[in-house]
Structure 1
Amino acid sequence: MKIDILSIFPEMFTGVLESSILKKASDKGAVEYNVTDFRDFASNKHKTVDDYPYGGGAGMVLKAQPIFDAVESLTASNKSLKPRVVLMCPQGERYTQKKAEELAKEEHLIFICGHYEGYDERIREHIVTDEISIGDYVLTGGELASMVIVDSVVRLLPDVLGKVESHEQDSFSTGLLEHPHYTRPSDFRGIKVPDVLLSGNHANIEKWRSKEMLRRTWERRPDLLESFSLTKEQEEWLKEFKKQDERY
């Protein structure tokens, strides 16, 4: 996969892309990163990428020309390959694991990180394929949001994590939150690991984990269950949880 990032603060990405899983993915050849300062594509001598909004109002607006030219330069060598061009924007669709899995199937992603009051609308209308928000709050710019998305996408690429199960059981990947985890020692300050995890009975362990995934989701994110199709067994577990809750 090729990932291009357009930003007027490219230095922000140095530590992120050269650390941890993102660096490992690059070293393995699973992904190629390129961060471009779209200020370099400004047509004026002062390298200005923003201007006052038509009609008045507070703040500055990113100009269409530098971003149009920057995106076109990134796609000029292979016009047959249509990249997904992602605009980081608080007005975009809220980011989810499902969206990460969708983007992970692409060959080329381009992220546009904005600043100031907003974008010239022609950028949205004629370049962008996706507008994404990572939450209902406002950041200074799109850089941090794009880092979040890049991380969540790259870890899904083949062989990046080593084992497919490493991400298949993540919270949200299954539609439920992940089950609790424990490691040695089995008894820490009198707090013991559940006996089932020490039993060696893998069928019982998987059943326990499945039940705990449902329990944790019901307790912490019940909204996720609104669109989740429960099995008969899970329906019985949910009834059990509700009865237990009524006792307190």
Structure 2
Amino acid sequence: MKVDVLTLFPEMFTGVFGTSILGKAAEKGIVSLQAINFRDYAGNKHGQVDDTPYGGGGGMVLKPDAIFAAVEALQQSSSPARIILLCPQGQPFTQSKAEELSKEDHLVFICGHYEGYDERIRKHLVTDELSIGDYVLTGGELPAMVMIDSVVRLLPGVLGNESSAITDSFSTGLLEYPHYTRPAEFRGWKVPDVLLSGHHAHIETWRREQALRRTWERRPELLEKLELSPKDLKFLAALKAEEQNQQNE
């Protein structure tokens, strides 16, 4: 996969792209990561990429010319890319969107600053507008880092354990079950007996039930979107009855 980021602050990506999972993925040749200053495509001697908004108002707006030129230059040598605008007005970024983007060959992230983007960038250039939450940041760099990390870790060969991405929270629609490792007892707190039993079917049942319990306790709205088995529904009914009994005591 090829990942390009258009930003006014490419130095922000140096550490992120060169370390941990992203750095190892780049070393293996699984992904190419590049941060590009789109000011280099401004086409004027002052490198100006923003201007005051037509109609008045506060703040500065990113001009379309430099961003169009940068994207078009990046697309000359590759297949059509998904052009992603980082924007608080965008569609919420989710695990399913990360999985969708991980199937692409080329992603281009556009990081804005100032008051916003010229509307022609939205209408005639980008394929996706994405947001990491209902709040405003000073620029799109941090959201781009979050999304790139989420997408790249899904590429084959990036994680040491290929099953890790499959069992992550949200990948199955549920929050992930609890994990334990050695020692079997720590300060009097013991690992659940089922995990030490070696009985794989019982362990899988425990993990499924724990994922259902954790999701029901912390993010119950996620359960409404899932197709649950009769066994799942029976377990959830027992959880609700248990809660009701505790409230009545």
TM bin, normalised by shorter chain, reads: over 0.9
Q: CA deviation at 1:247?
A: 2.1
Give the match for residue 132 of structure 1: 130
Letter in 2 for 1:137: Y
- Supply the distance in 2 between the matched residues of 1:142 and 1:239 (Cα, whole angstroms): 43
- Supply the distance in 2 between the matched residues of 1:241 and 1:17 (Cα, whole angstroms): 44
- The C-alpha deviation readout for 1:48-81, integer Å capped at 9, x for no partner, is 1100000011111000000010001101124xx1
- Supply the distance in 2 between the matched residues of 1:77 and 1:203 (Cα, whole angstroms): 50
Give the match for residue 225 of structure 2: 227
Give the match for residue 199 of structure 1: 197
> RMSD of the alignment, in Å?
0.7
- Supply the distance in 2 between the matched residues of 1:119 and 1:151 (Cα, whole angstroms): 25
Letter in 2 for 1:39: R
- Supply the distance in 2 between the matched residues of 1:152 and 1:30 (Cα, whole angstroms): 15
Instruction: Write out aligned runs for 1:69-84 (5 A).
Output: 69-78=69-78, 81-84=79-82
Letter in 1 for 2:32: E
Give the match for residue 61 of structure 1: 61
- Supply the distance in 2 between the matched residues of 1:27 and 1:77 (Cα, whole angstroms): 22
The number of residues matched between the two structures is 246
- The C-alpha deviation readout for 1:160-210, integer Å capped at 9, x for no partner, is 103321100000000000000011111111111111001111110010000
Give the match for residue 16 of structure 1: 16
Structure 1: 4+ residue segments shifted above 3 A: none
- The C-alpha deviation readout for 1:60-114, integer Å capped at 9, x for no partner, is 1000000010001101124xx1100000000000000000000000000000000
- Supply the distance in 2 between the matched residues of 1:213 and 1:77 (Cα, whole angstroms): 45
Give the match for residue 240 of structure 2: 242
- Supply the distance in 2 between the matched residues of 1:163 and 1:183 (Cα, whole angstroms): 16
Instruction: Write out aligned runs for 1:128-167 (5 A).
Output: 128-167=126-165
- Supply the distance in 1 between the matched residues of 2:76 and 2:155 (Cα, whole angstroms): 25
Extract unaligned runs of 5+ from structure 2.
none
Give the match for residue 182 of structure 1: 180
Residues 1:93 and 2:91 aligned together: yes
Q: CA deviation at 1:246?
A: 1.1
Q: TM-score, normalised by structure 1?
A: 0.98
Q: Could you tell which deviates more after superposition, 158-167 or 96-105?
A: 158-167
Secondary structure (helix, strand or coil) at the match of 1:116 reads coil
Residues 1:45 and 2:29 aligned together: no
- Supply the distance in 2 between the matched residues of 1:110 and 1:56 (Cα, whole angstroms): 31
Letter in 2 for 1:140: T
Letter in 2 for 1:97: Q
Give the match for residue 30 of structure 1: 30
Q: TM-score, normalised by structure 2?
A: 0.98
Q: CA deviation at 1:244?
A: 1.1
Q: CA deviation at 1:141?
A: 0.2
Extract unaligned runs of 5+ from structure 1.
none
Identical amino acids, percent of aligned pairs: 64
Q: CA deviation at 1:40?
A: 0.7
